[in-house]
Amino acid sequence: MGLKQSYAIIGTGALGGLYGGLLARGGFDVHFLANSDANHIALKGLQVETPLGDFHLPNVNVYSDIAKMPACDVTIVALKSTLNHLLPAILPVTTRGGGKVLVLQNGLDVEADSARVVGEDRVLGGCCFLCSNKVGPGHIRHLDYGRIVFGEYSSDPYGKPAPGITERAQQIEAELREAGIDAEATDDLLLTRWKKLMWNIPFNGLSVALDASTQEIMEHGDSLALAEAIIREVHTAAVGLDVAVPESWIQKQIDATKKMVPYDASMRLDYRFGRPMELDAIFSNAIEAASSAGIAMPLVGMMLKQLKFLNSRNLKGSD
């Protein structure tokens, strides 16, 4: 496999702080781009609480200025997709040696923004099945799950066969696993994205619309029935687009959420803290993809309208 690759972590939050921290703990050369807590991390290090074993990294390569970051072999995009307008200033710096980009963001076709900057042939994408929160400056609390499923990105996934599991994907998979991360390379990123949408759309959306944790949604008969109806609608859209999500995945999502520790979905936290919600990446892109094939998503569309109203009012209130 050769020498260990170097990693740039763009966004040191619940996701980037956890996975980047695990890579750094595992002896990899890791460089973090942080925002408000960059100085804190530089002085105090990175604290990670995780079922994998709590740890503290006292010396972290952390930057608040992208111009000071080195070129890395792999750049992990762990920003919210609402911040993708920053990527044209970031990615040319960290990938200037020809490095690859691994986009770990929620939603559908979120890799397109990175591909426009560095080229489609240098981009991979992945989904994180993860319960993790940033609870303070340089402080990550990982609660449950943690799997990454990732693969090669294609801007035309419905029109041509998936590219297969490449050698570079295999190397990233091996290195993530060496760091203690549950990682799996896939030959079908599109399938993975739609599987994750079957969780993200109902539970991120309902967490805001109902102002409820995942546990509260699962414990009330009406909210559970609504979540299941939305999951089924997303599944119907995926199948209509010839994305072969097994029907068993519907119940699997429900069962996994029932077993999950009480958790505030990321969209609910964004709403609570007055941050923009990832409505385009998670909702609009799925609705548009389905519509292009003549498939309606009325429940998802109705929830998107409600969330757009809440998002607009919330952002005005935080000005």
Q: Label residue 161 by pLDDT band (50, 70, 90).
A: confident
* Integer Cα distance of 104 and 126 in angstroms: 5
Task: State how far the alpha carbon of 142 is from the alpha carbons of 17, 52, 102, 178, 258, in Å.
Answer: 10, 9, 21, 19, 18
Predicted confidence at residue 262, as pLDDT, reads 85
| Radius of gyration for the alpha carbons in the chain, expressed in angstroms and rounded | 19
6 SS3 class = coil
Q: Given CA atoms 109, 243, 14, 103 in this order, what sign does their dihedral have?
A: negative
* Cβ 133 vs Cβ 143: under 8 Å: yes
Q: Are 21 and 90 in contact (CB under 8 A)?
A: no
Q: What would the two tokens of residue 41 be?
A: 């991390």
CB burial of residue 229 (10 Å; 0-12, 13-18, 19+): exposed
Q: How many angstroms separate the most distant Cα atoms in the chain?
A: 55
What is residue 1's predicted lDDT score, i.e. its pLDDT?
52
Question: Could you tell me which of 148, 109, 147, 107 has the C-alpha nearest to residue 126?
Answer: 148
**pLDDT of amino acid 84:** 98
Q: Is 196 a catalytic residue?
A: yes
**Cα distance between residue 293 and residue 88, in whole Å:** 31
Handedness of CA 306, 310, 315, 317 (dihedral sign): positive
Q: pTM of the entire structure?
A: 0.96
CA dihedral 69, 73, 76, 77 (to 10 degrees): 60
pLDDT in tens, 255-282: 999 999 888 899 999 999 999 999 999 9
Structural tokens at position 26: 């595992």
Task: From the candidates 196, 258, 259, 305, give the one annotated as an active-site residue.
Answer: 196
**7-187: CATH, from 3.40.50.2300, 1.10.3470.10, 3.90.230.10, 3.40.50.720:** 3.40.50.720
For the cut 70, the answer to whether the pLDDT of residue 319 exceeds it is no
Single-letter amino acid, residue 158: Y
97 is written with which tokens?
């040696």
3-class DSSP state of 75: strand
Q: What does the domain layout of the chain look like in residue ranges?
A: 7-187, 191-318
- Nearest C-alpha neighbor of 243 from the set 109, 82, 134: 109
pLDDT grade for 37, boundaries at 50, 70 and 90: very high
Q: How far is CA 77 from CA 16, 134, 227, 278, in A?
A: 8, 17, 29, 15
Please tell me what DSSP assigns to residue 203. Answer: I
Q: Are 82 and 94 in contact (CB under 8 A)?
A: no
pLDDT in tens, 41-52: 999 999 999 999
Handedness of CA 3, 66, 110, 117 (dihedral sign): negative
Residue 289's pLDDT is 97
pLDDT digits (tens, 9 = 90+) for 78-126: 999 999 999 999 999 999 999 999 999 999 999 999 999 999 999 999 9
CATH (residue range 191-318): 1.10.1040.10
